[in-house]
Structure 1
Amino acid sequence: MVYFLVFIHIVVCLFLIGVVLLQTGKSADLAGAFGGQGSQTAFGPRGASNLLTKLTTYSAVIFMLTSIGLTILLSRSSGDHSVLSGTKTTQTTPAKK
């Protein structure tokens, strides 16, 4: 189960990278080249969502769910181990003045 979830996680990660890199920026038009936003909104003009933005949203949700699922599965399988559980601790007494 863990290997399948890791495989899905990697595939979704690569797909998400590709979809984000294919998208154009908000100010990719001619007005954006000269600093204009083309609208008076706070975050720039927002058009209707196209296929790439929907794919980005869905793949981001799947990426987050597989991340949470992997965290839960790996924490259950490894038990209660700390990062420092294998190291030896030495106690020292403070120096006297």
Structure 2
Amino acid sequence: MGSFWFSLLLVLHILLGCSVIGFVLLQHGKGADMGAAFGSGASGSLFGSSGSANFLSRTTGILAAFFFVSSLTLSYFASKSHVQGPSDLMEGVAAPVVPVVVPASAPGQDIPK
């Protein structure tokens, strides 16, 4: 049952990460205020003149906090369970045997000993 919760939390973590990226990309930079002064029409929007910036920044902060908590929870589950990681992947594989090639000597030359 632990594997189910780990997988569910991993999917939630990926969705939270994509949501944080999306909300960061939706926000306006600091230089966008100058464009708003020349009639971009932000005052007639759903959130008012500065409401969308507050909504986006708060939502981004909340999503980032959940992303942080899910990161910590995933690391806790990974350390307590036997989830196969990259270090366990090659554990049962034998090392390859590399043949040793001895160079042949030309006739009349002695091989140093």
Q: Same fold (TM over 0.5)?
A: yes
Q: Which residue of 17, 23, 30 maps to 1:26?
A: 30
Matched, 1:61 2:61: no
Instruction: State the TM-score, normalizing by the size of structure 1.
Output: 0.61
1:1-97 pair list within 5 angstroms:
1-30=5-34, 50-78=54-82, 83=87, 86=91
Measured in 1, the distance between the counterparts of 2:75 and 2:82 equals 11
Query: Per-residue deviation at 1:27?
Result: 2.0
Measured in 1, the distance between the counterparts of 2:15 and 2:58 equals 17
Which segments of 5 or more consecutive residues in structure 1 lack a partner in the other structure? 32-46, 87-97
Q: Which amino acid aligns with 1:21?
A: L
List structure 1 segments (4+ residues) > 3 angstroms apart after TM superposition. Answer: none
Aligned residues between the structures: 72
Measured in 2, the distance between the counterparts of 1:19 and 1:25 equals 12
Q: Which has the larger radius of gyration?
A: 2
- The higher relative CO (CA closer than 8 Å, separation ≥ 6) is in 1
Measured in 2, the distance between the counterparts of 1:29 and 1:55 equals 20
Instruction: State the TM-score, normalizing by the size of structure 2.
Output: 0.53
CA RMSD of aligned residues (A): 2.9
Query: Per-residue deviation at 1:24?
Result: 0.6
Q: Which has the higher helix share?
A: 2
Q: Which amino acid aligns with 2:26?
A: L
Which segments of 5 or more consecutive residues in structure 2 lack a partner in the other structure? 36-49, 92-113
